[in-house]
Structure 1
């Protein structure tokens, strides 16, 4: 699910969907348990074009480490990832069959009745609810990045933010006090669970999207490092043990449940950003290398000067010592 825009790629939903997309197929193939080696491989969906992609994603999510950032949301993400894969392929008619297998995998791993309601969503409302769910997971990261007025972003990012907000507003107005329609029940449950104070955020849309960030991206128009870019730089240069980048460290409610955590992050990241930037400047830029060589050369010259001075002192001592011996000898020679 990776895009050409770095800041879209670091949104929480994009990160986990990409992990499902790139999950290793070898783990599933080498699993000799009866459930995966026999039951799953004999399902009717084994003949659809997306089977191999789906099953490695199912296996990846069901074996996720409990310390993984997305562990608590893995089944919701897996459901929306799986459904979209099917609907975007030629296998749309197998949607309900795929969902049956998905429910089996979930029940085999972690039975949760709340998830049963999600699987009952019809194809007609699936895409709309997926967009809302992703937006709720991504909202805090979006707000952190573009909440100041006139913040820069790419057109792709701007369109994602504005279309997501529009979809959220539409379904909210339709589902307000609607406790009958199933998709409204799901939406209202999302609203209650994630409790976001959603605002109509926007940004310029003038920025050229980049897959990777460069040093110049961390400087504002006056040449200073802006707090938001310090955050982005520090997070771009680090990852957690599960391979989830820190870019989305405040992206979900489950990841950052308290405002204290966010305050700590916003305090620490600028320091890390400055330190990382200084390291990269000295290590990899021509000016940094020149500065390093100049300092190093001066240090060598200073050391050589100190050694020469010490050598002169030593020679002076030896010279003085020799003269003392000669004087002593002469005095002894003329003594009466």
Structure 2
């Protein structure tokens, strides 16, 4: 065998292909009684119309394609998309009250996914300078130069337009309008200006974070009623302690990038007080879904238990010896809390007559 086979990196794909060709070759040589040691394998590969180096090149090309797809997927922030879809499902099923329009359901999920993905890509583009400074974001594809910035803008635009058109065609203009509203707040107001300039950036950004469940709700209802308003309030209030917890356990990152979040500007003690106040407001807002008649008592029990537990964790921050560890636990539970609420409003919607207020009347 040609000695150059031994000096070349061997991968599973190229080596298995070579063994296949070798097997065919050996059978042919045995049939015509040609001594195997007289054969130059390179010429045999030519005889079989095979370039013995090509399989390795094809394998490397395949790896590059997979890596590129992974990079373009990464800039859409799949974790954020998934989290938003859970809230979309909650809002959609809350409004459906057990009568699910499945084509509308899947179209709404896809439309919101595309709009959220678009916003995340734009955010990656806008934040390239500060992402380079922060430890958790310094390896993002746009920071590393793995994706051309101009291409990322085209990519984001295509995703956003596709999502908006889908929501308009498959759902209704109201759902599309709320998606556009959330997108403008996140990209145009929060990412471009408030995040870098104001301590109130988190508050403004919370409006965009509350849009997905409202989109899901309005895709079914076709109107912005009390249920939609309560969802907007619940998810906006939830965003605040969730975001402040991140800012506390990522304090050094935000400080290094000069991002004016509350813990950095006012101090962690002030942020802890704000967290408690927002969780209290969140508790009241979650109860309103049952009181006004949009969710049942199973939802009420779970919402109450989750909110009380979350409040207890927030209060324990005053005794915490390690703020970073405490904030990370608070952040993790915030995800559990909002997921629990989304699940319960999905499985336990109710009619407007089955309310506490109705019984009081």
TM-score range, shorter chain: under 0.3
TM-score of the pair, normalised by structure 1: 0.27
TM-score of the pair, normalised by structure 2: 0.26
- Whichever structure has more helix as a proportion of its residues is 2
